[in-house]
């Protein structure tokens, strides 16, 4: 029953407040209702009215009418203040699992509108993101941190933005859908490169060539060898002069494949591939990605890197970061 009502509410919101990148608050996308304090205020007015009627006390009746007039005036003030705002959001950048995504809100007072007063409360479903103060936070960019505990490609649900200015008797709020998608990449796990060769290439995709990275072996000293490569410890023990040789890893174009990890859980395998995508991209090597029937042709650069990471993030995604709208 509860889920049915929630789906009905979301369908109604989609019609009343459709998704867009920027909102000017007005009558059709704003809701106003008495707060708990407001209902307590009304209950107090009812008590004063009953006492004034019972004792035929005109002063108490006058006080009741004055308080009710103030109550209705606060309804107008709360709504009028809230609808001076214009709200937009910047694109949400991808993050890795257990990092925090950055939501960048832009809150502005509309042109030819009175100045906004009071504070704002921002929520994402049941998660409170921020309480904003007028002087410190509004009319500028506001950065909100959103936890990302699972990998995947998620559509952000509606942001709830509310105000109780001036005395908290009424709560004025709106539910805004900025049509934003959050991509959460798997957590990188360090591993050795497993790069399969492309068709038409001979040998392994990973090979060692002379270089300066990793120690390889000792050979007999030859005149002209750099003195910083001489193995002085061996020479001090009475041995002949020897020269250290080093190698560095040379990568050919190849494929990263999920099939290279048949015994690993899916999430672990995706994390291992994520590390290798980052490592290959940092060294500007060309590579492709295969996830069963999904294939990304070999390439390099930042756009290719993010394409591969997004594919890893959304592969066999089975959970939602937040409950569906």
Q: Mean of the pLDDT values across residues 294-302?
A: 90
According to the model, what pLDDT value does residue 46 have?
95
According to the model, what pLDDT value does residue 124 have?
83
Q: Mean of the pLDDT values across residues 51-73?
A: 94
Of 19-33, 46-60, 104-118, 146-160, give the lowest mean pLDDT range. 104-118
Other CB atoms within a 10 A radius of the CB of residue 271 amount to 22
44, two tokens:
């107090």
Q: Mean of the pLDDT values across residues 10-33?
A: 91
**Which of 100, 176, 103, 184 minimizes the C-alpha distance to 144?**
103
Cα angle at 252 between 277 and 216, to 5 degrees? 95
Q: For 283, phi and psi rounded to 5 degrees?
A: -95, 10
Q: Is the pLDDT of residue 324 over 50?
A: no
According to the model, what pLDDT value does residue 97 have?
92
pLDDT digits (tens, 9 = 90+) for 230-280: 666 666 666 667 776 665 555 557 889 988 888 889 999 999 999 999 999
According to the model, what pLDDT value does residue 41 have?
96
Buried b (16+ CB within 10 A) or exposed e, 73-97: ebbebbbebbbbbbbbbeebebbbb
Confidence at 70, pLDDT banded by 50, 70, 90 = very high
**How far apart are the C-alpha atoms of 103 and 121, rounded to whole Å?**
15
Confidence at 73, pLDDT banded by 50, 70, 90 = very high
Strand partners for 32: 172
Other CB atoms within a 10 A radius of the CB of residue 148 amount to 22
pLDDT digits (tens, 9 = 90+) for 162-204: 999 889 999 999 999 998 889 999 999 988 888 876 554 444 4
**How far apart are the C-alpha atoms of 153 and 155, rounded to whole Å?**
7
According to the model, what pLDDT value does residue 183 have?
92
Q: Mean of the pLDDT values across residues 218-222?
A: 66
This prediction has a pTM of: 0.72
pLDDT digits (tens, 9 = 90+) for 3-17: 788 888 888 888 999
The pairing of strands 287-291 and 254-257 is parallel
66, two tokens:
């004055």
pLDDT digits (tens, 9 = 90+) for 96-141: 999 999 888 888 887 777 777 778 888 887 777 777 775 555 556 7
pLDDT digits (tens, 9 = 90+) for 281-293: 988 888 999 988 8
**How far apart are the C-alpha atoms of 83 and 85, rounded to whole Å?**
5
According to the model, what pLDDT value does residue 319 have?
60
According to the model, what pLDDT value does residue 234 have?
64
Confidence at 215, pLDDT banded by 50, 70, 90 = low
**How far apart are the C-alpha atoms of 321 and 94, rounded to whole Å?**
14
According to the model, what pLDDT value does residue 37 have?
95
Q: For 265, phi and psi rounded to 5 degrees?
A: -60, 155
According to the model, what pLDDT value does residue 318 have?
66
According to the model, what pLDDT value does residue 127 have?
73
**How far apart are the C-alpha atoms of 244 and 153, rounded to whole Å?**
49
Q: How many CA atoms, within 13 angstroms, populate the side-chain half-sphere of residue 60? A: 14
Q: Is the pLDDT of residue 146 over 70?
A: yes
218/159: higher pLDDT: 159
Q: For 266, phi and psi rounded to 5 degrees?
A: -55, -45
62/195: higher pLDDT: 62
Q: 3-class DSSP state for residue 134?
A: helix
């Amino acid at each position: 029953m509860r889920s049915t009502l929630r789906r009905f509410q979301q369908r109604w919101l989609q019609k009343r407040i459709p998704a867009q990148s920027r909102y000017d608050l007005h009558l059709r996308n704003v809701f106003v209702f008495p707060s708990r304090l407001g209902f307590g205020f009304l209950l107090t007015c009812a008590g004063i009215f009953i006492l004034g009627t019972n004792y035929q006390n005109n002063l108490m009746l006058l006080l009741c009418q004055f308080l009710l007039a103030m109550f209705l005036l606060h309804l107008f003030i709360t709504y009028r203040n809230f609808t001076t705002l214009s709200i937009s959001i910047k694109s949400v950048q991808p993050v890795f699992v257990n990092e925090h995504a950055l939501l960048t809100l832009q809150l502005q007072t509309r042109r030819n509108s009175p100045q906004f007063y009071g504070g704002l409360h921002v929520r994402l479903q049941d998660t409170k993101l921020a309480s904003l103060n007028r002087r410190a936070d509004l009319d500028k960019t506001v950065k909100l941190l959103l936890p990302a505990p699972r990998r995947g490609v998620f559509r952000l649900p509606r942001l709830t933005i509310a105000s109780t200015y001036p005395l908290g008797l009424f709560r004025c709020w709106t539910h805004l859908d900025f049509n934003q998608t959050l991509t959460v990449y798997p957590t990188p796990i360090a591993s050795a490169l497993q790069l399969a060769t492309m068709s038409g290439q001979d040998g392994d995709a990973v090979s060692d060539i002379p270089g300066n990275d990793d120690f390889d072996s000792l050979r007999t000293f030859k005149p002209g060898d750099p003195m910083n490569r001489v193995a002085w410890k061996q020479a001090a023990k009475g041995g002949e002069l020897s020269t250290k040789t080093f190698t560095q890893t040379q990568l050919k174009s190849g494929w990263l494949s999920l099939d290279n990890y048949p015994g690993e859980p899916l999430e672990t395998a995706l994390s291992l591939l994520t590390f290798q995508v980052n490592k290959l991209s940092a060294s500007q090597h060309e590579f492709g990605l295969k996830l069963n029937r999904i294939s990304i042709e070999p390439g390099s650069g930042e756009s290719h890197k993010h394409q591969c990471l997004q594919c890893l993030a959304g592969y066999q995604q089975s959970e939602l970061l937040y409950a569906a709208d």
